[in-house]
Chains A and B, each alone.
Chain A
Amino acid sequence: MGQHVIKMPDVGEGIAEAELVEWHVKVGDPVAEDMVLAAVMTDKATVEIPSPVEGTVAWLGGEVGEQISVGAPLLKIEVAGDGNDDAAAAPKPAAPQAEDEDEPAAPARPTADGAETTANRQPDDDAAQDAPVAPRERPDTPAPPAGKAARDRRLPAQTRKEGDKPLAAPAVRLRAREAGVDLRFVRGSGPAGRITHEDLDLHLEAGDRPGAVAARAPDNRVTDFKVVGLRRRIAEKMQVAKSRIPHITYVEEVEMDALEDLRAALNTRKRDDQTRLTVLPFLLLAMVKAIREQPGLNALYDDEAGVVHQHGGVHVGIATQTRNGLVVPVVRHAETLDLWACAAEIARLAEAARNGTATREELSGSTITITSLGALGGIATTPVINHPEVAIVGVNKMQVRPVWDGAQFLPAKMMNLSSSFDHRIIDGWEAAVFVQRIKTLLETPASIFIED
């Protein structure tokens, strides 16, 4: 039997470490080749680590939420025959190579240009390449203590197992008996799942009392979740955006009847291979057109360097809700796309984001962002700018509202746009001009497609 060491692969250019966001296996689990072992996350992309070998998981290199250096052992697999773990034979002093890489890596921020030239890395290849490299295991941290520590940590929070007799002091048992409570159905918060007087109180308050109204009982539970992975990224990102960017939010309503008619007509006539049109591709193209007149809105503001990087290419981030949280896949070079291509790209990216297959490149490099909560209703939002961008356009729900045409109220399909701008770079006047321009384009959709 040998051990096969799997190391943290290089998941992105210049990335020194990645966050471990999920273990798919635990120590003792059998694994087959290509079975997913873990998920790690860099700036935006979540990468799954598959097993290059068949065997049994012998050791896990960290806890979910930990940052793991690229090249550091991630997990070890007990394999038949020789493994690749010669640590015992030739222990090397721990000198994490990752730390050396840290210097140049830190300031490197993926840009649209950089992303274009970077080949799409396959994590599978990385894992396979990395495996044979001599491991940097520290001889003073062998596997058994990790297992023991895990067991000790587990103790305090553990509740009793299914089928175990309820554990409670005699006084608690007596009170429960008198209250007609079967302790088997009471949660025990004490050590080893012991049921305390407080647990019994909670149970009684929660409505086990005859005639009690469960819905009105106060719920004093506090459930703790560790903010890790994508949620931590989102939290950090939102905090940076809101604490550094003085937002100005501008809300305007847009009459959508003409665009809706056009959209309906195009959808009726569309070819089978064409993606069904939503409002988004129209908005995207309208934004491209408006940006051509106001290029300052398609920019990244490096406030530390005091430089605005105004981009020619319009890379539009589409805020997308996934099972794990908010991600922003990017439609690259929207200025090169026609309506159908635009619709296809939005649909493809949304799907990739939702099922977790979006690549790192597809999730970074935007220069302006669209956020849409339209489906859920709401008449206005105050979108948070996707830092370091300077503008974000929010779409609200379209609905039929009465509109005064000067003589009478007429029903019209109205939709609000709620857009935020970095007020350090974008004046209110510029913001208003931009939104009004988009409004005009959407209300007269033909103008979106007419070259000036």
Chain B
Amino acid sequence: MRDIKCQLLVIGAGPGGYVCAIRAGQLGLDTVIVEAEKPGGTCLNVGCIPSKALIHAADEFAKASAFAAGGTPLGIHAGEARIDYPKTAEWKDGIVRRLTNGVSGLLKKAGVKHVDGWARFRDGKTVHVDTPTGPQTVTADHIVIATGSTPIELPGLPFGGAVLSSTGALALTEIPQKLAVVGAGYIGLELGTAFAKLGSQVSVLEAMERILPAYDEELTRPVKKRLEALGVRVLTGVKAERHSASAGTLSYTDGGQSGTVPADAVLVTVGRAPATKGWGLEELDLTMDGRFIAVDDQCRTSMRGVHAIGDVTGEPMLAHRAMAQGEMVAEIVAGKRRAWDRHCVPAVCFTDPEIVTAGLSPQEATAAGLDVRSASFPLQANGRAMTIERDDGFVRIVARDDNHLVVGVQAVGAQISELASYFAHAIEMGARLEDVAQTVHAHPTLGEAFQEAALRTLGHALHI
């Protein structure tokens, strides 16, 4: 097969890689993207999108079940709720297909050449790809490493059989009767909650002292309450040990004591690790930053002409961060002056209720040496929250004490994820509390809670 020469080679067609390739193609760069799986990466295939589809289906089923059980304050009654889970899975996969096909189309439209296969570096300019039709060599002026991340395994609970990664859980064709979730981070809680709503008996085991240990306790409290209401058993400060398929249990230790939880299936969600193996990183001898590839504010690695973007470069491992980096790198390679100067990368937990963070928490701001003031507004006092039957949660603002600059927003509430970009926009535009307070917020919406939180931080909230 003839060697391919190009200006830009992107390794990995996840959100970071495909955005980088599309933008490079738009800018007229001769671009090649290598991907062994379907385009879209973890996010589209086995992450954000299918999990959100599953969460939606679970919510609808839970609603139907509640109507069937009767006694909802809405006065709605319905017949028995049933779920045809293979059909649900098919619907979910249909969405994934639509999106991955869409990405393929976009790459094509941008003139990006797609090489199907697993890439392996030979040197900083050359990559070998094992394609279904034979080995292929690609030489490029610039290479972007966008290999992403993979779920972390526990030594005692290797993936396979009844022990599932998030990918495995999303690929189930039937709902497990008894599910044990190991790791109460956002992935474990999102999927655990969904299966609980679909009828699974769910136990969550967390080694730390509380759920969602990456978030402050105030934010996680409504989620904890909801898990209890859903009948999810939450064990914190425990260590998962062994799964017994015959007994249908997962054993754990709690200090000196031990116990078991029922488990037909075990979902292990203890984090994700950068995908730094199997593609020849050792050939490049790049400077590392712990487990991650070290990059500067232009996503340049220690090797000239080699960039890295997305999960492989560090936290936060989020699709939208990778996309923004990918777009930036394409423009840098095309000769534009760019650098990473974003103030915040918002993050969403699609738990129930949802959690949104953008910028600094009060603790982080104080640790950064800022004098801040902070106040939150409870959704209990928000009309829209009441009308969707979900007034649990709040919106919190963190602002500098001296000039009222908004440096962080945290929120927890049903459907609050839709406000994430609004919060990020306020921070990115350099809004002060007064800017938020002086913006007319549409009534009745959840967004009013943001305005009220700003007013409360200024000392004159209206509706509390």
- Interface residues of A, Cβ cutoff 8 Å to B: 155, 158, 160-161, 167-170, 173, 177-178, 180, 190-194
Contact of B339 among A177, A191, A192 (CB under 8 A): A177
When distances are taken between beta carbons in the complex, the residues of chain B under 8 Å from A160 are 403
The smallest beta-carbon distance between B429 and chain A, in angstroms, is 5
Q: Does B405 contact A (CB under 8 A)?
A: yes
Query: Do B435 and A191 have beta carbons less than 8 Å apart?
Result: yes
Q: Is the C-beta of B341 less than 8 angstroms from some C-beta in chain A? A: yes
CB-based contact A177/B337 at 8 Å: yes
- Residue from A158, A169, A170, A178 in contact with B336 in the complex, judged by beta carbons closer than 8 Å: A178
Q: Is the CB of A191 within 8 A of B432?
A: yes
Q: How far is the CA of A190 from the CA of B435 in the complex (A)?
A: 12
Neighbouring A residues of B116 by C-beta, 8 Å:
none
Per-residue CB contact flags for chain B residues 374-413 toward chain A (1 = under 8 Å, else 0) read: 0000000000000000000000000010111100000000
Contacts of A158 in B (CB 8 A): 402-403
Known: A191-B435, A192-B403. 10 other contacts (CB 8 A): A155-B403, A169-B430, A170-B428, A177-B337, A177-B338, A177-B339, A178-B336, A180-B337, A191-B432, A192-B400
Closest Cβ–Cβ distance, residue B212 to chain A (whole Å): 29
Contact A193:B336 (CB < 8 A) given known A169-B428, A169-B429: no
Cα A194 to Cα B337 with chains together (Å): 22
Task: Tell me how far the C-beta of A434 lies from the nearest C-beta in chain B, rounded to whole angstroms.
Answer: 63
Q: Which residues of B contact A169 (CB under 8 A)?
A: 428-430
B370 CB → nearest A CB, Å: 10
Whether A168 touches B430, Cβ cut-off 8 Å, given contacts A155-B403, A155-B404, A192-B405, is yes
Verify B337–A178 contact, CB threshold 8 A. yes
- Digit string of B324-339 for contact with A (CB within 8 Å is 1, else 0)? 0000000000001111
Query: Cβ of B141 < 8 Å from any Cβ of A?
Result: no
Shortest A194–chain B CB gap in Å is: 5
Give Cα A236–Cα B264 distance, bound, in whole angstroms: 93
Residues of chain A within 8 A (CB-CB) of B432 are 191-192
Nearest 4 A/B pairs, CB to CB: A192-B403, A167-B430, A194-B430, A192-B405
> In the complex, are the beta carbons of B430 and A192 less than 8 A apart?
yes
Please, how many residues of chain B have a CB less than 8 angstroms from a CB on the other chain? 17
Across the interface, do B405 and A167 meet the contact criterion of CB distance under 8 Å?
A: yes
Interface string of B414-458 (1 = CB under 8 A from A): 000000000000001110101100000000000000000000000
Query: Which B residue's beta carbon lies closest to that of A173?
Result: B341
Across the interface, name the chain B residue whose C-beta is closest to A191.
B432
Across the interface, which residues of A come within 8 angstroms of B337, CB to CB? 177-178, 180
CB-based contact B428/A191 at 8 Å: no
Give Cα distance in the complex from A173 to B432, angstroms.
18
Counting chain B CB atoms within 10 Å of each CB, which of A158, A173, A192 scores highest?
A192
Residues of B within 8 A of A178 (CB): 336-337
In the bound complex, what is the Cα–Cα distance between A193 and B430 (angstroms)? 10
Q: Bound complex: CA of A191 vs CA of B339, how far in Å?
A: 25
- Summed over the interface, the residue pairs from A and B with CB atoms below 8 Å come to a total of 36
The CA-CA distance from A275 to B429 in the complex, in Å, is: 67
What residues of A have a CB within 8 angstroms of the CB of B400 in the complex? 192
Q: 10 A–B contact pairs at CB < 8 A?
A: A161-B402, A167-B405, A169-B429, A170-B342, A177-B337, A177-B338, A180-B337, A190-B430, A192-B404, A193-B403
Question: Smallest Cβ distance from A446 to chain B, in angstroms?
Answer: 72
Residues of B within 8 Å of A161, CB to CB, are 402
Whole-angstrom CA separation of A177 from B336 in the bound complex: 9
Cα separation A169 to B435 with both chains bound (whole Å): 14
Compute how far the CA of A161 lies from the CA of B405 in the bound complex, rounded to whole angstroms.
Answer: 13
Closest Cβ of chain A to B321, distance in Å, is 15
By a CB distance below 8 angstroms, the chain A residues around B341 are 173, 177
Q: How far is the CB of B457 from chain A (nearest CB, A)?
A: 14
Closest to B401 in A: A151
Are A191 and B429 CB-contacts (below 8 A) given A173-B341, A178-B337, A180-B337?
no
B91 to chain A, nearest CB (A): 37
A146 and B336 CA atoms in complex are apart in Å by 51
Nearest Cβ on chain B to A73's Cβ, whole angstroms: 28
| Residues of A with C-beta under 8 A to B402 | 158, 161
CA separation between A167 and B400, bound complex, in Å? Answer: 13
Chain B residues with CB below 8 A from A191, complex form: 403, 432, 434-435
CB distance from A13 to the nearest CB of B (A): 46
Closest chain B residue, CB of each to CB of A192: B403
By a CB distance below 8 angstroms, the chain A residues around B338 are 177
For the complex, give the distance between the alpha carbons of A169 and B405 in Å. Answer: 13
| Chain B residues within 8 Å of A192, by CB | 400, 403-405, 430, 432
Q: Which B residue sits closest to A161, measured CB to CB?
A: B402
Among B342, B428, B429, find the residue whose CB has the most chain A CB atoms closer than 10 A: B429
Residue of B nearest to A193 (CB): B403
Specify the chain B residue showing the minimal Cβ separation from A163: B369
Please, how many angstroms separate the alpha-carbon atoms of A180 and B337 in the complex?
8
A170 to B424, CA, bound (A): 11
Which of B400, B430, B432 lies at the interface centre, i.e. has the most chain A CB atoms within 10 A of its CB?
Answer: B430
Q: Which of B337, B342, B403, B429 has the most CB of A within 10 A?
A: B403
**Residue of B at shortest CB range from A195?**
B430
In whole angstroms, how far apart are the Cα atoms of A33 and B432 in the complex?
A: 43
Cβ of A173: which chain B residues have Cβ within 8 Å of it? Answer: 341
B residues less than 8 Å from A170 (CB atoms): 342, 428-429
Task: Give the CA-CA distance A371 to B404 in the complex, in Å.
Answer: 53
Q: Which residues from A are CB-within-8-Å of B430?
A: 167-169, 190, 192, 194
| A165 (CB) vs chain B CBs: closest residue | B343
A70 to chain B, nearest CB (A): 37
Residue on B nearest A188 in the bound complex, by CB = B430
Q: In the complex the two chains form, what is the Cα distance from A192 to B435 in whole Å?
A: 11
- Complex alpha-carbon distance, A192 and B428, angstroms: 14
- Nearest CB of A to B336, in Å: 7
Chain B, residue nearest A183 (CB): B341
Which A residues lie within 8 Å of B428 (CB)?
169-170
B311-368: which residues lie under 8 A (CB-CB) from chain A? 336-339, 341-342
Q: Closest chain A residue to B336 by CB distance?
A: A178
Which of B339, B400, B402, B404 has the largest count of A CB atoms less than 10 A from its CB? B402
Which residues of B are found within 8 Å of A168, using beta-carbon distances? 430
Residue of B nearest to A158 (CB): B403
Q: How far is the CB of B264 from chain A (nearest CB, A)?
A: 49
Smallest beta-carbon distance A180→chain B, Å: 7
Task: Give CA–CA (A168, B341) in the complex, Å.
Answer: 10
The answer for the CA separation of A72 and B339 in the assembled complex, in Å, is 59
Q: How far is the CA of A191 from the CA of B403 in the complex (A)?
A: 8
Name A168's closest neighbour in chain B (CB-CB).
B430
CA distance A158 to B405 in the complex (A): 12
User: Smallest Cβ distance from B141 to chain A, in angstroms?
Assistant: 22
Could you tell me the distance between the alpha carbons of A252 and B342 in the complex, rounded to whole angstroms? Answer: 72
Q: Which residues of A lie under 8 Å from residue B336 when comparing CB positions?
A: 178
Distance, CA A178 to CA B341, complexed state (A): 13
B415, chain A: closest CB distance, angstroms: 26
Docked Cα-Cα span, A177 to B339, in Å, equals: 8
> CA A168 – CA B431 in complex, angstroms?
10
Smallest beta-carbon distance B424→chain A, Å: 10
CA–CA, A158 and B400, complex, Å: 13
Give the residues in chain B near A177, CB-CB below 8 Å: 337-339, 341
Measured CB to CB, the closest approach of chain B to A258, in angstroms, equals 69
Expressed in whole angstroms, the Cα–Cα distance for A191 and B437 within the complex equals 14
CA distance A190 to B431 in the complex (A): 10
Q: Give Cα distance in the complex from A191 to B432, angstroms.
A: 8
Q: Please give the distance in Å from A197's CB to the nearest CB on chain B.
A: 12
